Structure 1
Amino acid sequence: MRELRIKKKPGWTSRLSPSLAAFVTNPKGMSGVIILLAIILFSILAPMFSEYNPHRRAGKPHVAPSYEHVMGTTRMGKDVYTQVAYGGRISLGVGFGAGIAAAVIGLAIGISAGYFGGRVDDILTFFVNVVLVLPGLPLIIVIASLVDSAGPLVIGIVLALTGWGWPARTIRTQTLSLRTREFVLSAELMGEKKWRIIFKEIFPNMLSFFMSGLVLGTIAAILAEAALSFIGLGDPNAVTWGTMLYWAQNNMALQTGAWWEIWPPALAIMLTGAALVMINFAVDEITNPQLKAGRKIGLIRKFLKRRGRSADVF
């Protein structure tokens, strides 16, 4: 008798591109995306989650978390839950704005310097070295002392203009190694335009470095905004996660036992950073062949251990 073989229908991931399908099936990447999307939607849809105004008094001072005030109130009677939701708009805006700007500038300058070489490389490398020695936080402190307080927009612009140096240097080094590869040389011999070679041949190989620069730049910008606001150099009238920590410190929240003023913004910053790091790990595993091979070997070892076989060959 012939054996009946049941053909499995291809899953929905088969309709996606290989890289996107690999990311969707990566537990770290999808966990980071879900957490990050939840935080972003919570901030964008803040009016739907709270009826209070983050700048106005909503109840009695230092009320512990309750049904009416889920995360309690501050010393000024403002609702902490509302401030966390609205504060995420500015904190995430500064983080993603500065991170994306720094990553894009670093990508453009790094690829241009590495691919064109010659005088273009010398000029762009000079600017990269200048940016690398410019300290972002001290520069913001100086600006804040001149204008009384540095708002989120000023912080974001300074971090974007001073944060693209390391991504540009890393991408330039990788581009120098790619410009002599066979697929780039063959594209040049076929008469392809330089911009097409950059976007079609070189840029896909820089996705991992671009995402790393984007993620690390975003995390650094969020932490920098929070740190500067916490020490009083930001705009105290703006509602951000950093200014929440600043007012909690001024109001002696820990000394009075009002822990709910500190933990919500701190946890929001921590979860955002953790989500971005998980996304970065997933992108590295997909785009880096060595990490991909290490992941496969780890899966094989687990399989052999379950079967009771030796995994020393790996």
Structure 2
Amino acid sequence: MSTSERLREVYEERIRTPMVVAWADWRTRFGFIILGFYLLMALVAVLGLWREPSTSQAPRYLMLFENMNYPLGTTASGVDLAALIIHSTPSILLMITAGAVWATGIAVGIGTLAGYKGGRVDRMLMSFSDLVMAIPGLPLVIILAVTLNPENPILLGVIINISYWAGLGRSLRSQVLTIRENDYVEASRTMGVSTPKIIAKDIIPNLMPYVTVNFVFAARYVMFASVGLYFLGVLPYSTQNWGVTLNFAYSGGALFSWSAAHWLLAPMVAIMGLSLGLILLGQGMDRVFNPRVRTRMAGESKSTASDDEDAGVTEVL
């Protein structure tokens, strides 16, 4: 096989087929569109294409779309709500990504290693996981947040999910116990394939649908927890966050005044929209990691390509 043929095979298997499978599901399409919108907002904030909240002064309590220069309205002090939402997006995305990668990465590493190796390694890793699970999660996060006073969103995401991985790791370990008894894993072990390669090529791919769903759950947990902690005043207000906006809205009487209701609704809609995008993308990506669906879609793609080639030959003749 030549280098070009090998590259084409890798492209078909690793890029084109997953994209075809993903795009065939409406949930993946809508999930990508929603998350793309939030990424666009983050890019606008990073590039400074929208006014800063601290520099936006306008009439107080403008309603939704009352003034198109301030499409989401303004707060009690005349701050642009759209600016608050847009400039909170980069830190939110960094936070949920860091927390989800931390939780799922640790869980996959510990769960697969414990389930595959068994014996003393399994007992030690699961005992450590049980110890982490026994620690109350929310009080631990509050203590760490108050002690460290984190302002870096990446560090904050890791702190919020500091113990989230333990339950997921135990669930993955139970699945690995079943997968390691399959014939192809036994064949790899008999041929002397190293443990890291067996885990990477034979075990983890079969766990990816479950890992993907839990990655989304971990990201949503970080978002909800951070918003709640900012709303309660546990985390420092030096970083702009949708929870800070909710706190100020509640303190400004938005819960009881219709003229200030948009102040409360804007961050809530932003939170629900991002959560919906994550859920749709997670459900759609489950098909990408399903080997049966990928094989069927790849076969349909090849048959379509061969039909096009036959049609082209017929036209030439």
The normalised TM-score by structure 1 is 0.81
SS of the residue corresponding to residue 270 of structure 2 reads helix
Pairwise CA distance, 1:249:
0.7
| Structure 2 contact 21–288 (Cα < 8 Å) conserved | yes
Aligned match of 1:258: 260
Change (3 A) 1:219 1:182: same
- 2:61 matches 1:58: no
- Structure 1 partner of 2:297: none
Q: TM-score, normalised by structure 2?
A: 0.80
Q: 1:193-218, CA deviations, whole angstroms, 9 ceiling, x for partnerless residues?
A: 21111111111101112112210000
How big is each residue's C-alpha offset from its partner over 1:154-213, in whole Å with a ceiling of 9 and x where there is no partner?
542222321111221111111111111100010111121211111111111011121122
2:187 alignment partner in structure 1? 186
Higher helix share: 2
Q: List aligned pairs for 1:160-199, cutoff 5 A.
A: 160-199=161-200
CA distance in 1, matches of 2:116, 2:56: 57
Q: Which runs of 5+ in 2 are unaligned?
A: 1-11, 295-317
Task: Name the CA distance, whole Å, in 2 between partners of 1:55 and 1:170.
Answer: 46
Identical positions, percent: 26
Matches within 5 A, 1:134-149: 134-146=135-147
CA offset at residue 143 of structure 1?
A: 3.6
Larger mean CA deviation between 87-96 and 278-287 belongs to 278-287
Change (3 A) 1:242 1:15: closer
Could you say if the C-alpha distance between residues 165 and 76 of structure 1 is closer, same or farther in structure 2, counting changes exceeding 3 Å?
same
Q: Is the 8 A contact 1:226 1:241 kept in 2?
A: yes
Query: Matched residues in 1 for 2:136 and 2:285: separation?
Result: 29
Alpha-carbon distance in structure 1 between the residues aligned to 2:114 and 2:169: 9
Q: Per-residue deviation at 1:15?
A: 9.7
Q: Secondary structure at the match of 2:255?
A: helix
- Cα offsets for 1:228-274 (capped at 9, x unmatched): 11122122232111111111111112333212211121111101111
What is the RMSD computed on CA atoms of the aligned residues? 2.7
Conserved 8 A contact 1:140-1:155: no
Distance 1:290 1:194, change over 3 A: closer
Per the alignment, in what secondary structure is the counterpart of residue 175 of structure 1?
Answer: helix
Q: 1:300 — aligned with what?
A: none
Q: Which residue of 1 aligns with 2:223?
A: 222
Q: Secondary structure at the match of 1:162?
A: coil
Number of equivalenced pairs: 281
